[in-house]
Amino acid sequence: MTSAGDFAAVAAIARVKNPISVAKRLLGTPHILLVADGATEFARRCGFGEYDPTTPKAKKRFSQVMAITDRMGEWSYTDLERAWNYDTPLREVLGGDTVGSVVWDGQTFACALSSGGTMAVLRGRVGDVPLPGCGLYAGKHGAIATTGDGEYIARSLLAYRAHAELEGGRSPEQIVEWALNELAENVDLGIIVVNKTGFAGGARHGMAWHGQFLESAAR
């Protein structure tokens, strides 16, 4: 998403190495979101080849989750967390990875997110990442990208509201503090924010690492 009004996303796409690159190609169409088979077919027509994302780590994680569900039957995340009795932390087994970025080039703000999703969800589930104003938002006052428990982030329209706080005069550091206090303490959350004067990031429950790249440092 950019502060120029551009937005594109894909979700539930299969067997594509870099879905975020497919989303970038979607910017050249009238659409903002493609899902499932339609997203995969669009990727193929754009030249993105077949890719098997299966790794030994992913297989191990999947097997662990399947073993848990077999023994416990139907369970909620809260029930699973309460009953967890393995050496491997629950979040390591069930978690997914999200990579986010926010940028300002002196004229335009932009943000991007790419997520592997979460293991313990229903087939067809779409989280906050491809929903504008939920996982990410870019406007004339700055750009925001988040990661964490997607359903909570989406229901709160967190990124859009964070931009509104930027518009109201809060600094990126204040936005991070605001966001971490906005959702319940047990909700996983990480956030990065940039505006014309600065950058800030923060997280809880070990959700995210955040860093800053400065053009001057690269020279």
- Which residues form the catalytic set? 98
E strands, the chain, are 9-11, 33-35, 98-104, 109-115, 136-139, 142-148, 189-194, 199-204
**10 half-sphere exposure, CB direction, 13 A CA radius:** 27
The SS3 of residue 117 is coil
The SS3 of residue 107 is coil
Taking the C-alpha atoms of residue 121 and residue 128, their distance in angstroms, rounded to an integer, is 13
